[in-house]
Homo-oligomer: A and B are copies of this chain.
């Protein structure tokens, strides 16, 4: 039956009728492309991603491919290799019919670096956060065990220094190479880095130490293999801390957005009001309402 489905689909190659409208985004590094187009007059999004090279078929690739020499210099030479199609597939995802929302979602968004002085925070950013009423109900559901309770790996129930630790949704938990955990504070009044003062040092130190201990005992990773950090701006305004494998280039671990928790602790130890006085830099996407606010204030 499986074969029949395949054959039916092959004879009716849905993409042969696909008319490309625009490339929404692409990545030369990851070998992906996101394309918007139409199938029989209706919107569709097609995502192509070249597949990782399978080590199991390397010898077949070497023996069964055609090689075209491009360049030779001393001991170095480069070729274009044409492999048999079944050893070199392209993962294809079709969204059909697609809505305008799908098309927007896959559209590349430019980012801009904002410079936020302490004054900018209080006059632009904070009012914006408050007027948006971003809901963190889903975070409260986790803390109250109304949702995702089976995913919690560790909890410290102290209302001031406690937290829950659970895997981030981006991690499939199949290998530690790309380990990604999130610690969510039980304390509810800290929106971001900007609210942290010396009062919160015991909380930050507790999250760092107990998080490191749990990861060592559960996953066998010592603290020297971990990158532990906060985002600014965070993606939701309730204090949380990211734990990722040092060898894994996690999205959002770049210097423009991530703040090592060890640095945050040192900064507050030196100056309890460090994050209420400091100029902070962070990236915002072109469609972020906060960017519009900074533009309106003449700060861009």
- Which A residues form the contact surface with B (CB < 8 A)? 5-6, 9-10, 13-16, 18, 20, 23, 26-33, 35, 46, 48, 50-53, 55, 58-59, 61-63, 65-69, 75-86, 88-98, 110-115, 223-227, 229, 246-247, 249, 253-256, 258-260, 262-263, 266, 270-271, 278-279, 281, 283, 300
Contact = CB atoms under 8 A, between A and B. Distances in A.
A99 B113 CA distance: 44
A75 B111 CA distance: 30
Given A31-B51, A246-B256, 15 more contacts: A20-B62, A28-B52, A31-B50, A33-B55, A35-B58, A48-B61, A65-B90, A76-B95, A77-B93, A78-B93, A80-B90, A111-B225, A113-B246, A114-B224, A270-B271
A111 to B, nearest CB: 5
B13 A26 contact: no
Contacts of A278: 266
A83 B79 contact: no
A4 B197 CA distance: 72
B260 A69 contact: no
A66 B30 contact: no
5 contacts: A16-B63, A31-B31, A79-B92, A253-B256, A262-B279
Contacts of A66: 10, 13, 85
Contact of A55 (B26, B95, B254, B255): B26
A91 B80 CA distance: 5
Given A30-B30, A88-B90, A281-B260, A79 B9 contact: yes
A86 B85 CA distance: 10
Among A23, A93, A255, the most chain B Cβ lie within 10 Å of the Cβ of A255
B85 A83 contact: yes
A77 B58 CA distance: 29
B94 A15 contact: no
Contacts of A111: 225, 246-247
A75 B99 CA distance: 10
A14 B53 contact: no
B90 A6 contact: no
A19 to B, nearest CB: 8
Contacts of A78: 91-94
Contact of A96 (B75, B90, B246, B266): B75
Contacts of A53: 26, 31-33, 48, 50, 90
A247 B50 contact: no
B6 A69 contact: yes
A83 B98 CA distance: 24
A95 B75 contact: yes
Contacts of A50: 31, 50-51, 53, 88
Contacts of A10: 66-68
A18 B62 contact: yes
B81 A89 contact: yes
